[in-house]
Structure 1
Amino acid sequence: MVLGKVRGLAIYFDNLNESNMPVFSGGDSVSGRVVVDVTGDVRVKSLNINARGVAKVRWTESRNAGANTAYAQNYTEEVEYLNHYDTLIGEERDEDCPEEGLTVLHAGLHEFAFSFNLPQMALATSFEGKHGSVRYWVKAELHRPWLLPVKVKKEFIVFEHIDINTPLLLAPQGGTKEKTLCCWFCVSGPISLSAKIERKGYTPGESIQIFAEVENASSRVVVPKAALYQTQTFFANGKGKQIQQLVSNLRGDSLPQGKSQSWEGKLLKIPPVSPSILDCPVIRVEYALVVYVDVPGGLNLSLSLPVVIGTIPLHACSSRTSSISSNCSNLSWLGLPERPEAPPSYCDLAVSESHRQVCLQGCDRSDEEGEDGGSLLAYITEFRYLPPPLYSEVDPYPEHVEVCGAQEVRRPDMCPSR
């Protein structure tokens, strides 16, 4: 037998997305093949795979301990989401007989299938940050007698789905702020900012519609702007480290003194970014839309609105519901007036006194024909055409009952005459 060599070892995943990428979610089945390319005959002890998923944080801080000394402190934290081990070739062997039970691979390509399920739990989305990452991979190791093992590692992507079609993420976000500029004894008028977005949840590729109103009563020329920021927060050893990055921004027109400016759905496009990571104990990725007024020579007036970047886009029915909630003050799209008409007053609906008397006379004639039914009809008709009583917290007709012996005597002065 001519001993051969291992020419190559590779891992291929089966289920790829439209971009030819291995993308999975919690509970999905991950399957693939380990391909071994050998020249000649190769004796193999074992071929193993190890699938892992780890969220890891690491950074270093330097501290001065004196004039000539300094030391560095490392902050490291790790959370494991997946650890699956499987043997594709080989099994447990007697260490005294290392040559026993070896598998011989002949020249050519050899494929070995593998499959495992991701845990049914909230997994952290794959992420790469400055001080930490969330990574998932499959590692294959080919062991041969008396030789170093051959290893290969292939990463795959995990998305923890965030459905933006939930009431919490469909709720409008908004706020109002005001600021007065002053310099020594000179005080100018206030700058007011009011902003609103139609919902909290978005997906990459969408545009955020910004509704804003800026009034400049100060003596300076200001500029309204908006920006979408990503905030990465890393936790390790009881300490946190935060990084903020600009994702997208836009600028309005300059606003001179005494002028106002309105944004009626100004669009801010969301570029391809990582989804929000909200449940990982060591890494958080959050987003916020900051609508602000750039004040030259002073502190900006800003309003921060939280935004969640999800993975499941907005459904058609949810889009209409969100549109209704965001345009509750503007009903023109329904073909209705913006301000509903007032209900008619009682005077417009009440009949005239002559018509009422005619109705009562008709009831009296019915009374002669049938005493019981006619009197009841007269009472109902008279009650129907009476004007409504005026509201009062004091009863205008209190009834005081005095008990005299076994008889009840009503005081006539307290009861209205019929």
Structure 2
Amino acid sequence: MSPIKDFTFTYEALNRDIFFSEGDTITGTVTVTLTKDTKVKSLSVKAKGDAWVRWMEADEESVVMHRTTKRYLEVKRYLVSETYIDTVLPRGVNHLEFSLTIPLVDLPSSFKGPHGQIVYKLKAKLSRSWHWPLRRQCEIKFFSKSLQHLDQVVMYGSVNTDLGIFSRRMVKMLASVDRLIYSPGDTVSVSVNIQNSSSKRMKPKFILQQNTEYSTKFSTKTCVTILCKMVGEKITRKSEEMVTCQLRIPDDVVFTLTNCKLVSVRYFLKVYLDISFAKDPEVEFPLVIAPSSVANAVLGEAVERNQAGAS
């Protein structure tokens, strides 16, 4: 009968979103409960991060599987080193503290999609001579700090459209958003000034879109998901109107991901006018989706910069 009654580990959260980033230190405790004094060959804790993408493409003649994998992180610490003769752990409850520091290198955020994943795990391993090792693991969330530098984006856009010789009038649209970095569950506020000098009626439309791209060395697969779509009231001919719209970001969306060769996730807000028999004028805003603590920090830094510039 095994003397190991229980083998578990826990780790401490650094923030309310319970994620880690480059340079963070993961601290925790491994607990080994023994019914008697026991020789242990080694006891280690490891943090690792792996990415993979996979999809199939088929035609009438063949089926091609596209796939690739990449390891981004592997950090290991021994609590009982295997370089020594078996260490004896005493009977009862043994608490062994550990710490693992994530390197200050550019790492992609955690991600799960239908054709790929980026997963970070924390693993504990207990080895004894002439016995199968015991393993415990859990998944941890990782968010890349590199996204904190993506707030320097224009928050407004405009477009002019000539409706052609039959109308001989212009349509002007100026759109703006309240900010460009959000968290899951937030609401995007959009304001649009529309100057319709034509004889046509038109409708403003708003689309919140997610573009996910999976890549291998030789192929790329792009998935476009419409997260939210809204239609405004008709704009009458020869008029000027201000239209506002609010689009809610779903609670379960993944974070923006731009620093991984295998997977990228980008978000766009598209504002356009639906005009019959004419090219629809469109303004597009790239948005960043991040944990609430990161988004709030970036917004706070932006406010401080604006206040400093105004003084």
Q: TM-score range by the shorter chain?
A: 0.7 to 0.9
List per-residue Cα deviations over 1:199-230 (Å, max 9, x = no partner): 763222253332231638466x5421112111
Identity %: 25
Q: 2:269 maps to what in 1?
A: 289
1:298–1:180 distance in 2 versus 1, CA, 3 Å: closer
Q: Check the 8 A contact 1:227/1:290 in 2, yes or no.
A: yes
List per-residue Cα deviations over 1:70-114 (Å, max 9, x = no partner): 4x3222233332111222224236xxxxxxx33344543322222
Give how far 1:247 is off.
Answer: 2.8
Q: What SS does the corresponding residue of 1:315 show, helix, strand or coil? A: helix
Structure 1 unmatched runs, 5+: 94-100, 326-418
The one of 1, 4, 15 aligned to 1:6 = 4
Structure 2 unmatched runs, 5+: none
The one of 64, 85, 99 aligned to 1:73 = 64
Q: 1:192 maps to what in 2?
A: 171
Give how far 1:12 is off.
Answer: 0.9
Question: 1:317, 1:43 → 2: CA distance?
Answer: 56
Aligned residues: 300
Aligned counterparts, 1:207-246, within 5 A: 207-213=188-194, 215=196, 217=198, 222-246=202-226
Q: Check the 8 A contact 1:177/1:194 in 2, yes or no.
A: yes
Give how far 1:231 is off.
Answer: 0.9
List per-residue Cα deviations over 1:100-138 (Å, max 9, x = no partner): x33344543322222121111222112222222222111
**Structure with a larger share of its residues in helix:** 1
1:254–1:117 distance in 2 versus 1, CA, 3 Å: same
**Structure with a larger share of its residues in strand:** 2
Aligned CA RMSD, in angstroms, stands at 3.4
Structure number with bigger Rg: 1
Aligned counterparts, 1:214-363, within 5 A: 215=196, 217=198, 222-255=202-235, 258=237, 260=239, 262-263=241-242, 265-272=244-251, 273-294=253-274, 301-310=281-290, 311-313=294-296, 314-315=299-300, 318=303, 321=306
Select the structure with the greater relative contact order (CA < 8 A; seq sep ≥ 6).
2
**TM norm structure 2:** 0.80
Give how far 1:303 is off.
Answer: 3.0
Give how far 1:259 is off.
Answer: 5.2
Q: 1:355 maps to what in 2?
A: none
Question: 1:165, 1:246 → 2: CA distance?
Answer: 22
Say whether residues 1:15 and 2:6 are aligned partners.
no
Question: 1:126, 1:267 → 2: CA distance?
Answer: 28
Question: 2:110, 2:221 → 1: CA distance?
Answer: 19
Q: Check the 8 A contact 1:189/1:218 in 2, yes or no.
A: no
